[in-house]
Amino acid sequence: MSAAPRPEQPAPSPLAPVTDDPDTGGFFTAAAAGQVALRYCADCGALLHLPRAYCYHCGSWNSGYRVVAPRARVYSWTVVEHQIHPAYPVPYTVALVELADEPAARLVSFLPGRPELYAGQELHAWFNQAADGSTVVQWRPEGSEPPVREVS
C-alpha cells in the first residue's frame, strides 16, 4: 500500500466570499453587476459601512445599496513577502483604499507583486469573477491592466 503514488495535489483555489449574507450580500450582488455599492440608511442617509441592517443614527430599519463611483485612493498598503496561503503566492500587495465618493468607507484590494504605490494615489475598480461565480471588487492604479493571474 505504501508503494502507491500520492495523487497530485490540485492547485489550491483562492478564498471566495460568502455572497448571500443578509447583511452584506448586496455589496456582492452589485459587484457581480460591475458596480461598487455601499449600504446607506434610506431615511437619514447615513453610511452603513461595514454593511448592516439597523441605522443607530435615526433608528431606521430601512436601508439599501447605492452605487458610488468606482474610484478610490490609496490609504495604506503592505507588501506580503511571507507565504501564508498557497493560493496567494508572494510577493503580493494588499492595499487599504478609501472611496473617492465616500472617504469614510474603506475597502481592501489585492495587487500582484510589489507595485509602486503612494498615499492618495488614485485607483480604479475592476471586477474579478471567480470560478464559483462570485465577484470580488479589486482596485488598480490608473492606466494599469488587470493582473494576468487573477486571484478569485
Partner 1 sequence: MNDTDWQAGACAIAGIGTTDFSRNSGRSDLTLATQAVLAALHDAGLDASAIDGIVRCDMDLVRHNDLAEALGIRQLTYWGECGPGGVAPCAMVGQAVGAILSGQASTVVVFRSLNGRSGRRYGAASTAAGQQLVGGNGSYDEFYLPHGLLTAGQMFALMARRHMIEYGSTQEQLGSIAIACRERAQANPAAQMYGRPLTMSDYLSARMISEPLRLFDYCLETDGAAAVVVTGTDRARDCKNGAVLIHAVAQASVPGTQPGIMFPVLMRDSITALSSRAVAELLWSRSRLSPADVDVAQLYDCFTITLLLQLEDYGFAKRGEGGAFAADGGIGLTGQLPCNTSGGHLSEAYIHGMNHVVEAVRQIRGTSTAQVQGAEVSLVTSAPPPASSALILTADR
| The length of the chain, given as a count of residues | 152
SS (H, E, C) 108-146: EEEEECCCCCCCCCEEEEEEEECCCCCEEEEEEECCCCC
- Kindly identify the residues of this chain, within the stretch 53-112, that bind partner 1 according to CB under 8 A: 75-82, 84-86, 88, 92, 94, 96, 104-110
Stretch of 3-11, 38-46, 59-67, 140-148 lying at the interface with partner 1 (CB under 8 A): 3-11
Chain centroid offset of residue 100 CA: 15
- Min. distance of Cβ 41 from partner 1 in angstroms? 15
Q: With binding defined as CB under 8 A, does residue 29 bind partner 1? A: no
- Min. distance of Cβ 116 from partner 1 in angstroms? 13
C-alpha cell at 14: 483562492
Q: Are 108 and 97 in contact (CB under 8 A)?
A: yes
Interacting residues toward partner 1 by CB under 8 A: 9-21, 23-24, 27-28, 49-50, 52, 75-82, 84-86, 88, 92, 94, 96, 104-110, 119, 130-132, 136, 138, 151-152
